[in-house]
Structure 1
Amino acid sequence: MIIGWGVLSLIGYLKKDGIYKNYSIDVKKTPYFVLVLDGIHDKIYPWSKELPDLLPDGTKPQNQESVIASTEMTDEENVAGQTETVMQDTETAAAKPKKFIQVDDSYFDDAVFIGDSRTVGLHDYGGLDHSDFFATVGMNIYDLWKDAFCEVNGKKVTLEEALKAKQYKKVYFQIGINEMGRGTLDGFMNEYQNAVEKFKTLQPDAVIYVQAIMHVTQKKSDSDPIFNNPGIDARNQRIQQLADGVRVFYIDVNEVVCDDQGGLKQELTFDNLHLYGSKYNIWVDFLKTKGIGTE
């Protein structure tokens, strides 16, 4: 037994500045083997590795378990922190605002245009022969998902079926003139926003252009209680609010087809509502200034 105490005392003495350096004894009153016993109590054994002076949180370790637990916790926190930083950086990059750039005809090769008779005119006279068009005369937001007006492989299908059949990089949407005088602005916007959300789901890789409703001529606006520009502007202001500059973009063709009073230029239209076939190039040229690029 005496030999055993002697061995423990020798270990305590040799490692008093090592694994037992955080313990203190009065060598005049207490033998060194007490260091070993105290260490064993704290699960610090003679063969344990040397403890650090301070834990990562700046405190002194009390025993081996506290060191391990603290170190493991710190590692987990570091990993979590690094993961969170990476996720934040990724989200920031993904949400980085994009800007409009000039593009050529090929930009529209992977685009689909959805809308009413005005979009039909864009299809017939715009020269965008490589784009797909799902549009029909009289289409409105309330019937958008009900009617089978889209032609896919020679068959008429609903818009949802058409958008499930093929993936696009751009979705151009203009609708709203046929809803004038029908329902309420809030009701219209509720259906419109639902449509945009559905586009996001059905076309996850596409940017979505919500196009302003084209104005009517000032002459018609002044005389028509239903089809007038103040009513159109009220809708356009709400449509614009759906744009986030990252996935959804608002573009307003009225910038290039309206006169100083804000009405559709008389020389561009045959019925105060629709463009002449020869004037759709103005719309197309406008679209070419609204390609999407990154900073």
Structure 2
Amino acid sequence: MKKKKVIGISIVVIALIIGCVCFNMFSQSKTDKGIAYLQAQEKLKVEDIQEELNKKKQAELQSAVEQGNLDVFSLVDDFVFYGDSRVMGYYVYNLLDANRIFAGSGNTLYNVSDWDEQLRSLNPSNVFISYGVNDMGSDLDNDYEGGYEGLAKVQMNHILEIVPNASIYLCSIIPCSPEVTKEKPYWAKYEDYNSKLQKACNAVEACTYVDVTGLADGGNANIYSGDGIHFSPSFYTDWLTAIVNKMD
């Protein structure tokens, strides 16, 4: 009887030991996974995390606009928008306040200072900039002593001298249609000019580069008016959405 009792106790003890070992192994496994996750998070750069958050924000904003749940034009009010005849479309189509559109036909980066008085009066928090078509046509990269990159930096710093607390959003050049570019080859230089714009933006702390070139799909997207240079009204929603996506 005693022997059976001892055997029974031994079996219970062994079972308890096995149970403890299994529990510890399971707990250790969960702990190891938790440590591995934390270590992986530590390795992530702040820039990578911010990029993921920006992508999520962009997707949510784009979805809301596409579903008609959000009017992107209502999200911008304290701004000015520098540019050429392409930018003029924002007020020609009654999309944004005409008083805040600092644009004219044939305008280039050289025309920034033409709007100094209005800039000082409005004192905006956000400055949008989009030139390029006329700049390439006028060969400003060779015309200006410091090249197109140098000119862009000078003009952005000029703006910041007047509105030092403003944030600048510098748009890349959107290409023309292939048919138009074939007729005027200088418009094919947009990638080179965009590279210089991006470098200029990186050199100005208050500047954020907005790459909208992809919206044109190499000039093949259905975004143009009949001339292959200017844009149809519907495109301005996508363009402004891309800018708003970059705003804090």
Please report the TM-score for the alignment, with normalisation by the length of structure 1.
0.54
1:121 matched to 2:89? yes
**TM-fit CA distance, 1:126:** 6.4
**Structure 2 match to 1:253:** 212
Amino acid at match of 1:283: W
Query: Compared with structure 1, are the counterparts of its residues 185 and 105 closer, same or farther at alpha carbon in structure 2 (3 Å cutoff)?
Result: same
Identity among equivalent positions (%) equals: 25
Counterpart of 1:140 (choices 97, 102, 108) is 108
Query: Compared with structure 1, are the counterparts of its residues 107 and 277 closer, same or farther at alpha carbon in structure 2 (3 Å cutoff)?
Result: closer
The whole-number CA distance in structure 1 between the counterparts of 2:81 and 2:74 is 15
The whole-number CA distance in structure 1 between the counterparts of 2:224 and 2:139 is 30
Describe the superposition over 1:181-234 as per-residue Cα deviations: whole angstroms up to 9, x where unpaired. 424525233322211111111111111011111111122223422222xx1111
How many residues of Structure 1 are paired with residues of Structure 2 in the alignment? 179
**TM-fit CA distance, 1:122:** 2.1
The whole-number CA distance in structure 1 between the counterparts of 2:184 and 2:130 is 22
The whole-number CA distance in structure 1 between the counterparts of 2:98 and 2:83 is 17
- Specify the SS of the correspondent of 1:242: helix
The whole-number CA distance in structure 1 between the counterparts of 2:98 and 2:104 is 18
1:216 matched to 2:216? no
**Structure 1 match to 2:17:** none
The whole-number CA distance in structure 2 between the counterparts of 1:175 and 1:140 is 6
- Contact 2:223–2:231 (8 Å) recurs in 1: no
Counterpart of 1:199 (choices 159, 163, 173) is 159
**Structure 2 match to 1:265:** 221
The whole-number CA distance in structure 1 between the counterparts of 2:243 and 2:191 is 20
Describe the superposition over 1:92-119 as per-residue Cα deviations: whole angstroms up to 9, x where unpaired. xxxxx89855565443110111111011
**Structure 2 match to 1:33:** none
**TM-fit CA distance, 1:264:** 4.6
Counterpart of 1:189 (choices 149, 154, 157) is 149
Quick check: 130-139 or 273-282, which moved more? 130-139
Amino acid at match of 1:171: V
Q: Note the residue ranges of structure 1 that are not aligned, 5 or more in a row.
A: 1-96, 146-157
Please report the TM-score for the alignment, with normalisation by the length of structure 2.
0.63
- Specify the SS of the correspondent of 2:128: strand
- Contact 1:217–1:266 (8 Å) recurs in 2: no
- Specify the SS of the correspondent of 2:106: coil
Query: Compared with structure 1, are the counterparts of its residues 226 and 268 closer, same or farther at alpha carbon in structure 2 (3 Å cutoff)?
Result: same
- Specify the SS of the correspondent of 1:192: helix
The whole-number CA distance in structure 2 between the counterparts of 1:197 and 1:268 is 32
Describe the superposition over 1:59-93 as per-residue Cα deviations: whole angstroms up to 9, x where unpaired. xxxxxxxxxxxxxxxxxxxxxxxxxxxxxxxxxxx
Query: Compared with structure 1, are the counterparts of its residues 125 and 283 closer, same or farther at alpha carbon in structure 2 (3 Å cutoff)?
Result: farther
The whole-number CA distance in structure 1 between the counterparts of 2:206 and 2:138 is 29
- Specify the SS of the correspondent of 2:109: coil
Q: Note the residue ranges of structure 2 that are not aligned, 5 or more in a row.
A: 1-49, 62-71
The whole-number CA distance in structure 1 between the counterparts of 2:201 and 2:152 is 12
- Contact 1:216–1:272 (8 Å) recurs in 2: yes
- Specify the SS of the correspondent of 1:210: strand
- Contact 1:200–1:206 (8 Å) recurs in 2: yes
**TM-fit CA distance, 1:274:** 0.7
Amino acid at match of 2:208: F
Structure 1 or 2: more helix by fraction: 2
Q: How does 1:1-295 map to 2 (within 5 A)?
A: 100=54, 101-102=57-58, 104-125=72-93, 127-129=95-97, 132-145=100-113, 158-185=114-141, 187=144, 188-228=148-188, 231-244=189-202, 247-256=206-215, 258-259=216-217, 262-266=218-222, 268-292=224-248
